[in-house]
Amino acid sequence: MKRFAALLASSLVIGAVASASAAEFPTKDIDIIVPFAPGGGVDTTSRIIVETANTLLEGAEFNVVNRAGGGGVVGQTLASQAAPDGYTVLAMTSSVVTNPKLKGASYSVDDFVPVGLYNLDPSVIVVPADSPFETAEQFIAAAEAEPLNIVIAGIGTSHHMGGLAIQQVTDAQFNYVPTKGFGQQLQAVLGGHADGALWPLGEASNQANAGGVRILAIASDARDENFPDVPTYQEAGIDIRIWATFRGWSVPKGTPDDVVATLSTLLQNVNETPAYQEKMSGAGFRPVFRDAAGFQQIVDDYAALTSTIIEDSGLGQ
């Protein structure tokens, strides 16, 4: 009986310590691992989030840490191996789902716990402003006659998967040219070294507004209010209703639920801040929030969809 009482007391102490630790979180700075080079959509949105989040925290700050390489694998591996204490957050994109299947990465999507979604960005077909392709129909017809060169952030990224999805519903063929970051993609497109690209709308909008590229179609179920003349994929004859890049936060598996909840609430509070919404919208990224459960559903749906594409394309490892 005494031994049981001692064990009970010990468990209560451990539980109290864990609860106190979660309640005090955070007590030090938090790193957000961006697994891509500076300048792209994930980096840009992460820095906008941090700017607002740091005004909501006391005694701690968020730091953006770029760990680019392997189309996201380097940074994602680093995040998967971090201590599950909430002090390392991954800026999570769809490549976390596909990199293990396409590249044999050492982690799986199940090694991460979704915290919250902050942006859902539909894919668009872009070409240089002086491209001979003035419509998506012309672009697809050319790709059916001869493979077109498409720059992507890396094999397994949403750009790549988006191209494979188009290939599944048309007779188009693409040569995929991986690059190191959005800056190199932009140089290739603006310089006429690529026939086009499949970018998220947020990254494409600023370049289109500046006159450097032309957007031919958007993978959404409705036209975008900022580009009302750009047809949806389905309107352009591409039978894909929605194809979107998701951006959110995740943490290593094993992170305490209370800590995940605290981070999720913080991200929601950021999303509800007018200054944040203005900066995101001004940069071309529509702020959208989903909590941990909602983000998990989006990840699960994307995993199921891309598994079929990868299997049908014979790309799995």
Q: What is the pLDDT of residues 186-229, one digit of tens each?
A: 999 999 899 999 998 988 998 999 999 999 999 988 899 899 99
Evaluate whether 152 touches 179 at the Cβ level (below 8 Å).
yes
What share of the chain in percent tops pLDDT 90? 68
What are the structural domain ranges in the chain?
A: 26-120+245-313, 121-218
| Architecture label for domain 26-120+245-313 | 3-Layer(aba) Sandwich (3.40)
Quick: pLDDT tens for 171-184. 999 999 998 778 88
Task: Report CA dihedral (246, 48, 264, 68) to the nearest 10 degrees.
Answer: 60
Amino acid at 274: P
Same CATH fold assignment for domains 26-120+245-313 and 121-218? yes
Mean pLDDT of the chain: 89
d(CA 310, CA 317): 10
pLDDT the model gives residue 21: 52
> According to CATH, what is the number of the domain 121-218?
3.40.190.10
Residue 108, phi then psi, degrees to nearest 5: -130, 165
CA pair distance 78, 33, nearest whole angstrom: 8
* Residue from 197, 235, 203 nearest 219 by CA: 235
Per-residue pLDDT reduced to its tens digit, 83-100: 999 999 999 998 899 899
Tokens of 19: 């609860």
Instruction: Name the nearest CA neighbour of 44 among 271, 247, 191.
Output: 247
What pLDDT, on a 0 to 100 scale, did the predictor assign at position 311? Answer: 85
